[in-house]
Structure 1
Amino acid sequence: MKSSNQTRIGVLLLNLGGPERLADVRPFLYNLFSDPEIIRLPWRPMQKPLAWLISTFRAKKSRAGYQKIGGGSPLRKLTEEQAQALAENLKQRGHDVKVYVGMRYWHPFNSEAVEQILSDGINRLIVLPLYPQFSISTTGSSTKDLYRILQTKGGARHLRRSYITRWFDHPLYIQALAEMIREEMAKFPDEDPSRIHLLYSAHSVPQSYIEEGDPYLKHTQKTVELVNEALGNRSPWTLAFQSKVGPVRWLEPSTEEALHRLAKEGARQVLAIPISFVSEHIETLYEIDIEYSEIAEEAGVPYFRRAPALNSHPTFIQALTELVAQKLDQNPHYYS
């Protein structure tokens, strides 16, 4: 580790992670289901045996999905591109900052990112989970994991840390979503917004989380409200939830249920919006683009499209830049 009195600033982007090869799918799933924030069991010693069982059972189907989107998840590449764009934006604003990527369930793991951060002599760290809407299962799990890792380093007491954990209503994030939606709406045969149904599809969480106080649903609803306002409230819309796992009750309606309802109501143009995903992953590239597209066609929706995930959209990167810059500007004494 470098030693110096000079302040070295880092930004750590946290995300889920994803298997980059088909051989990675089962161990990725094992890591995912080993997380007690994903599957809560009354007896913790059962967590890993159950994770092994679920990951083994689901691996074949999951591998087939990844095969259809190119053989692996693009999440690492896209997140690293976001990190590079963020670093460039911050540099243009006069902030000499290194941006790192840490993943919860696959490489580069949070532990790998921390090793690099400490090796680089970073002593001021801003942690930015790439989950706009807070949930204990996403932002909560990632930040807990980071805290645990830092505790194994003696707490890394020299490393001053700030966290940005809730940005579901940031104006530039909302603007970026609205810009992406407008671009996609223009591709329908009838561009009249009142004739395009906006289907906001968010990652689901168990209903019990919400009942216990998790703000994810309220945050997601507020994001949708603000995006609709930015679009002029001219389109009919639905908020639905995807990617349910297991038998417990999850948030409703499911995206599949919503599509069937819209078809019955006569919707002819439906635009799916991955409202809680800031990067393309299997949930967008396979679930929405392939599975839900087929469901829409079979249900009788003639025109079904999806707005892209934000990825490195310039306005979105500007939103991340503003979030980080605000933290930096609040603490000018950290600079040398």
Structure 2
Amino acid sequence: MPKTNPGRYFEDFRLGETLRHATPRTLTTGDAALYTALYGTRFVVQSSDAFARQIGYPKSPLDDLLVFHTVFGKTVPDVSLNAVANLGYAGCRFLSPVYPGDTLSTTSEVIGLKENSNRKTGVVYVRSTGINQHGDEVLDYVRWVMVRKRDDAARILAEEVPALPKALEPDQLGDACPIIDPAEWDSGLSGQRHLLRDYQVGERIDHVDGMTVEEAEHMMATRLYQNTAKVHFNQFTEGQGRFGRRLIYGGHVISLARSLSFNGLANAFQIAAINGGRHVAPLFAGNTVFAWSEILAVEDLPGRDDVGALRIRTVATKDRPCVDFPLKTGEDYDPAVILDLDYWALIPR
């Protein structure tokens, strides 16, 4: 019996099975510092213990996307080691803050399978859940990924495409952060004076800044999350593939876009949910990432008079500034667009 893990191929998955992923990961202030070094994130609650305590947190929570990537990374050896591409996300809920010293582990349930017409690949849908050392759920989400088949002729016993929500409702968002004291929110320190009612539905924001992706940075990020997918760091295999080089991990793009969004959304301090997202096109080292956002909704939250929620669509591009808000040309995405992300962020009222 082989002692190494070759990864699952599409025909190895079964509807309804539960996967328990190795290995638990204790996150520290070192991880938070490295995350900041990789993306330059500046959201104040995750940057300053003093500010976080002032508004009601016990200390600074870890960045929401650091938590997401860590939970995601656990799933890769069992779900997407042999992936062609990660295709999208839905119904992602951040259920509780995570702090330095917390240990995260992950389980996944296979909720959908669909073989592609070429019979060489198929799409696997999983619902993954991150749990802390106390057994509390801190994150759950659905993602779907295209996975190679080991044998083109292999029969798939059962197929199903799950029904997924287009968006989460405001009443599903309230547990992403503790009750805060908005009177203690210091806009001079947070970086912007604009709060919930200063944003309008339909408003578009060019985040102005750009960040060039370096080979070393995306490699370090992928290793930080213990993401073992070959497409991200094995040039020997990927040099023989479709693109001839490694792909940037899609989550790296999400974190870059989120960090860029600080310029215009500085007080949208906590991601409460990801409604959906598409990695529209690949990104490679040497490309420069820009981003813009559209406000889709401005909502009060049931039972909360401290924070409300902005539903935000953030679009990231490569090698194209976003002064004209590139998105689609006709029915197709503009060639510069690499990410289309729909999410809820909490912001003081």
What TM-score do the two structures reach when normalised by structure 1? 0.26
Whichever structure has more strand as a proportion of its residues is 2
Whichever structure has more helix as a proportion of its residues is 1
What TM-score do the two structures reach when normalised by structure 2? 0.25
